[in-house]
Structure 1
Amino acid sequence: MKSILLLALLGLLTPQLIYGGIIKTEQHRNPVRSPVHFNSNGTFKIVTFTDLHYGEGAGSDWGPANDIKSTKVMFDILDWEKPDFVVFTGDLMSAEVMYPNGTETMDQLLEPVVKGNYKWASTYGNHDIGNNVSREVILSAEQKYDGSYTQQGEEGLIGNTNYYIPIYPPTGTNGSEEKPALILWFFDSRGGRNSSGGISAYVHETVVDWFKLTAQQMNETWGPVPSLAFFHYPTDEYKPIHDTIADHPECPGQHDDIVTPQERDTGFMEALVASGMIKAAFVGHNHGNGWCCNYKTLALCYNRQSGHGGGWVGWTRGSRVLTLNIDDLWGPALNYIRLENGTIVDQFVSQV
């Protein structure tokens, strides 16, 4: 931590405030959070939840019933996996059909992580906004809980949830808060509609430029730090893999949907690859997809749909689980799908 502050003072990093190891610009007063560390044995497990779609069908039988099922999915998977961190990759709710009860809906949605005393972070999707619910309301509802590491991005970045979280070596090890062992990146691919009209669904150029600059600063300061990227909409690069995945038995997982990529290619994936940091990217959005495959220098993965909302039936819900070891973060990494019935399927070991 001291070294990061010193670098900021020396001008090696842009003028920023440090929040529990998270570098943010001075314009945004995100809550102060304690640094996140690997376990004493050097392991770190992440459970992902995507496309929960809470808040549908208010006043109906099916809407609240789906939310109860989704809550059970999360409680069960958290109980089986007992992760160190939880990531929500968008479409937490279906805000376009909701009246102004986003805060209450978030309280219900977050019950499993709050009661379990877990740390978590989110990036938002195209359904996390509507005429009566904004992403800012959802963010405020999250940040009132101490376990939330979700951040409002820097001033000038288009979108809300563009930020990163450093994960440090085990507490008590030499320099355990000076250089991260892992970085979790979150990007807002936006989309959806509000009272002003439609919102473009892609990671904006301002965010791509911010990532390039920040990654360059990190590489110059620390050297390459292995990193994971989380966002909601897949990029164009997912489509050719999906279209030929039957020919790639090394790419396990569900592929029962189309790929709906970001509406515009801003060089986002090219920037992730060129950074030399990103080991894997994880998305949601297309509910019937849940596969992983190697692409150039990283793995491209769909997370499994976790929620019973969203209007899609016939698929067993679940979570992609990431298991990391601090001694081999640049080596092959294991992830798998934990289904709501307890079964583990689609084990994938990245080879990049």
Structure 2
Amino acid sequence: MPPHWTFICLSLILAAVTSADDLRGAGHTVPLRTTPEGNLRMRGGTPFKIALFADLHFGEDAWTEWGPRQDANSVGVMAAVLEKEQPDFVVYLGDVITANNIMIKNASVYWDQALTPARVRGIPWSSVFGNHDDAPFEWPMEWFSETGIPQLHCPATNASFSGGEECSFRGTTRLELMKSEIEQNTLSYSKDGPQNLWPSISNYVLKLSSSQEVVVYMYFFDSGGGSYPEVISSAQVKWFQQKSQEVNPDSSVPEIIFWHIPSQAYKKVAPKFYIKKHCVGSIFLEDVAAQEAEMGIMKVLEQRPSVKAVFVGHNHGLDWCCPYKKLWLCFARHTGYGGYGNWSRGARILEINHQPFSLKSWIRMEDGHLHSEVLLSS
């Protein structure tokens, strides 16, 4: 076996066993979570801080030396941000993995590796799906050239790791990825959502409370892509209407929204000809790659005075927040070294204060510097 293939195989095996060993090394236990928990609590008298990790793209070009090296770099970005910001919660904002490059049967190996920086620090998190997370395997054209298909050695993904198995190239479904995350991590607040929204999976709501009252509701949506069209469906819109009426009938509690692919409304507010209007950000270097269709979610959000902001990933060359109607539309910041673009990596940070309520945001870069501060609750 060529030396670089030995390196790749070992990196995959190490990634697969991380979920147990990293926690033992950090002094944590790894009990399975048996009951879903949808209630987060603020620590008395302190703001609640959230780090958004977008477009990590673990597993990209997994058969090369470059791929595992980029995954290690992505871990470094997350570690740097978490050490600097010390957030209370993390949101994995889609494209956690590049499934269309992953050869092994169980892509949860890579998904789990991406969760490691939060887990070893005891920071709870939630996740939503992006368009790459369950995309079908794309056979590289160079494999069909004179050089041929490389000698691939894929590790077994069962608990024993006792031997190799052939690459399956079949992919891992959204539901399989989500169930694996939930069942194997007590710190995960992710949910697999109502079954009647299938094939959309990551649809759920979390509640952040103080000791006295609810501070904010956070809604998470699956914006599609990969195995089905890039869209928030009419069924998801109806689910949001019903759920928000159930938990926040008079819109008295602020609400914030997370999904991966920007809605078409982002195109309407995107700065043009370098005129930024009232937008706040540092990179405005590509056009918005929006969902394929608009099925009503933005109209519903516009009509709810409690909705303060929507946060998305997907566009690696955008990190702005722009006002839209009575709310804000925001991009995160490209966090991972996988995926396209050579812009510096970082993460969007949210800070929630109570009494009075405020929602602030900024970008924290891998090198530690902070920029693009904005108040989103004005």
- Could you state the TM-score of these two structures normalised by the residue count of structure 1? 0.83
Distance 1:82 1:205, change over 3 A: same
Q: Percent of counterpart pairs with the same letter?
A: 34
Letter in 2 for 1:108: Q
Q: Report the equivalent of 2:376.
A: 350
Of 100, 111, 119, which residue of structure 2 is paired with 1:114? 119
Of 295, 309, 317, which residue of structure 2 is paired with 1:280? 309
SS in 1 for 2:320: strand
Of 88, 92, 102, which residue of structure 2 is paired with 1:88? 92
> What are the within-5 Å matches in structure 2 for residues 309-348 of structure 1?
309-310=338-339, 312-329=340-357, 331=358, 333-348=359-374
Q: 1:50: Cα distance to partner?
A: 0.3
Distance 1:264 1:112, change over 3 A: same
Q: Distance in 2 between matches of 1:257 and 1:286?
A: 8
Letter in 2 for 1:163: Y
* Structure 1: gaps spanning 5 or more residues: 1-28, 194-198
Deviates more, 1:71-80 or 1:248-257: 248-257
Q: Could you tell me whether the CA contact under 8 Å between 2:56 and 2:335 is conserved in 1?
A: yes
Q: Report the equivalent of 1:8.
A: none
Structure 1, residues 76-100: CA drift from partner, whole Å, max 9, x if none?
Answer: 1001000011001100000112122
Q: Distance in 1 between matches of 2:374 and 2:92?
A: 20
- Indicate yes or no: 2:254 matched with 1:226: yes
Distance 1:245 1:147, change over 3 A: farther
- Indicate yes or no: 2:271 matched with 1:239: no
Q: Distance in 2 between matches of 1:327 and 1:246?
A: 37
* Structure 2: gaps spanning 5 or more residues: 1-32, 137-170
Q: Distance in 1 between matches of 2:241 and 2:193?
A: 15
Q: Distance in 1 between matches of 2:248 and 2:176?
A: 35
Distance 1:245 1:302, change over 3 A: farther
Letter in 1 for 2:194: E
- Indicate yes or no: 2:214 matched with 1:180: yes
Letter in 2 for 1:70: S
Bigger Cα Rg: 2
Q: Could you tell me whether the CA contact under 8 Å between 1:47 and 1:83 is conserved in 2?
A: yes
Q: Could you tell me whether the CA contact under 8 Å between 1:38 and 1:326 is conserved in 2?
A: no
Of 170, 179, 192, which residue of structure 2 is paired with 1:152? 192
Q: Distance in 2 between matches of 1:30 and 1:256?
A: 44
Q: 1:205: Cα distance to partner?
A: 0.6
Q: Distance in 1 between matches of 2:204 and 2:273?
A: 31
> What are the within-5 Å matches in structure 2 for residues 4-15 of structure 1?
none
Q: Distance in 2 between matches of 1:83 and 1:90?
A: 19
Letter in 1 for 2:374: F
**Which stretches of structure 1, 4 residues or longer, exceed 6 Å deviation after superposition?**
none
- Indicate yes or no: 2:295 matched with 1:266: yes
Deviates more, 1:283-292 or 1:104-113: 104-113
Q: Distance in 2 between matches of 1:34 and 1:162?
A: 12
Letter in 2 for 1:147: L
Q: Report the equivalent of 1:38.
A: 42
Q: Distance in 1 between matches of 2:242 and 2:221?
A: 15
User: Number of paired residues?
Assistant: 308
Distance 1:286 1:267, change over 3 A: same
Q: 1:217: Cα distance to partner?
A: 2.5
Q: Distance in 2 between matches of 1:257 and 1:43?
A: 33
Q: Could you tell me whether the CA contact under 8 Å between 1:166 and 1:184 is conserved in 2?
A: yes
- Could you state the TM-score of these two structures normalised by the residue count of structure 2? 0.78
Q: Report the equivalent of 2:6.
A: none
Q: Distance in 2 between matches of 1:88 and 1:242?
A: 24
> What are the within-5 Å matches in structure 2 for residues 17-32 of structure 1?
31-32=35-36
Q: 1:223: Cα distance to partner?
A: 4.7
